[in-house]
Every structure is written in structure tokens, then in C-alpha cells.
Amino acid sequence: MASPAAAPPRSLRHGRSSALSFPSPKPPPSFLPLPRSSLPFPSLIRSSSSQSSSSSSSSSSSTKYRSGLRFLGAEDYARLQILEEFRICGEIGGGGEVEIRLMADEEMGATARLLAESFVDSVLIPGKYTRFLELLIGQYLEQKRAQLPFAATLVGFYSEGGDEKRLAATAEISFDSRGSNVSSPSPPPPRDAPYICNMTVDQSLRRRGIGWLMLGACEELISKMRMTSSSSSSSSSSSSSSSLLPSSSWAYDDVYLHCRVIDLVPLGMYQKAGYSILATDNFLVWLKLQQRKHLMSKRLPRPTTTISEISEGVS
């Protein structure tokens, strides 16, 4: 069993798992049939880097991964390679294995269905809206795919005793401002910092350790993608070292996420994994028919490998 480098301690891996809460940003007008505060996915406008060139795609030999970027430099291709090759496999409580990797194009439908069912269950929206939410979330996931390699959606597949694998969990990561949404939940996290959201586990597989494994996989992927921008040979001369990304990008050692105040099980999981509460919504959010949320963060270790070293094999 491969254990994520930044995963929670092994003693916690088989603890209770639960679907994690979604952020509740302000929805676009098309969401009017449902309560405005209920919908988990914000109106997504692509960042300027993907806005100007969203017609091309990037794919690997095994699975097609699309990117909204027309031109990718060597460093961006290196990050795509990290995403395509990323895999975490682990055993969970009660038997069975989970494989976590990047979501493929053909898996968007199943992922949207899992998110819609989880969200309807968590906020007690009538089940008749599930299909409607599934369609909207599918559009959202398609737009997020266009933000590769600055955002990624991970999926976890569960199997037991040689049975066919089935989708068990998903989570979304934005690595910097180019992969973030225009609208973010309150309290707002730093836009240039790594951010985990829309993480959920299939209801029939909760409390078996899948949530712990998914959280650890997100942290490990963030650590892999947060490569230092200068090589070891030029680290002593920081004033003249070249930056592979804008100076504000990849500058944070912390990863951020939100947790609803009422979600005590996920809150306990985050705290045991090392996350601390930074800020909490005040009671005025109830006037917007929203649940109060904690903004939480955790310090991740700095990576020891540079993105330049990885991109040498790509360029």
C-alpha cells in the first residue's frame, strides 16, 4: 500500500470517514429554480491564461486529458505529466482497496452524479433536483478541466475481492489563482494558495477511511505540484534566480479548505489531520440562507525537487 507523503498519520487512516461539505458561493442566475444559498458550485469564469485560448487539448497516450491552454511551456507540460502519472493506492477499513488519480474525460458524468447525490443529501434538497444539479455540475467539471494544470479533479475508485471498480470519492484542488474560481466561499482563502473543495465519499462507503485517503492524496499532489522555482545551484543568489511562475504563484506553504460549522465529523477529521481554524463566518450569513463555515489551513513541507528538474525530460 502506497502511503501519501502528506497524508494523515497511519493511526488515523482507518478512522471514521464522511462526505465533506461543499462551499456555498453565490450562484449565477441560471440556478434560480433552487435556493440561491444551496448550490455548491460557483459561476466559473476561466482565468486569463485559459480565457484567451480554450480551443486546444492536451492528452496522454492512455487517457485523454484536455487543457484550455493553447500554448504550454515546458514547466506546464511537466505539471501535466505529474497530474497524468499521479496515483495513490491504499487499503481501507473493512477490506477493499481504493485507487486515486486524475479524473478522465469519460468519468465526468459519474463524478457529477456522485457530487449531485451527495450535495442533495447534505442540504436536504428535494431529490427531484438531483438530475438538474447533475447537469449543472457536469458543465462545471468540464470548465474545470480546461484549467489544467492549474486545477485538478481527483477521483477514487473502490474495489474488493476482485470485483469491478466503482467510483467512491472525488475532490477538487486549485493550485493557484489561475485554477481558482471567481467566486469563493466565505471566509475567503488566499487566491494564490492551494485550496481543496468539493470533496465527497459515496454514501454507502463512508466511515471506512476513504475520506482520510482522499485528503492525504490531495495533500501529496499539492506537494508534488508546488515545486520550487529556482534550482539548487542558484538558490544562494535569490536576487538573480529566475522564476518559472508569476512571483505570487506557488508562494504559499499552507493548503486551505472550508468546513461547515455543523459538520462535526469532517471537522474532527481535519483537525486530527493537522488543520487549524483560521476564521469562521459570523451569524449574518444566515440572512443569506447560508450555513456558517470555518476556513481551515495546514502547513505542508516544502518540496525538495524543482520543477526545472522534471521539465528537463519534457522540453
- The secondary structure of residue 301, as a DSSP letter, is P
CA separation for the pair 197, 23 (Å, rounded): 7
Residue in 77, 140, 270, 275 annotated catalytic: 270
Alpha carbon 119 to chain centroid distance? 16
Backbone φ and ψ of 256, nearest 5°: -120, 155
Omega within 30 of 0 (cis) for the link into 28:
no
Omega within 30 of 0 (cis) for the link into 187:
yes
Order across the sheet with 151-159: list the strands.
87-91, 97-102, 151-159, 166-174, 195-201, 254-260, 293-299, 276-280
Assess whether 270 carries a catalytic annotation.
Answer: yes
Partners of 91 in the beta sheet?
97
- The secondary structure of residue 204, as a DSSP letter, is G
Which residues are tagged catalytic?
270
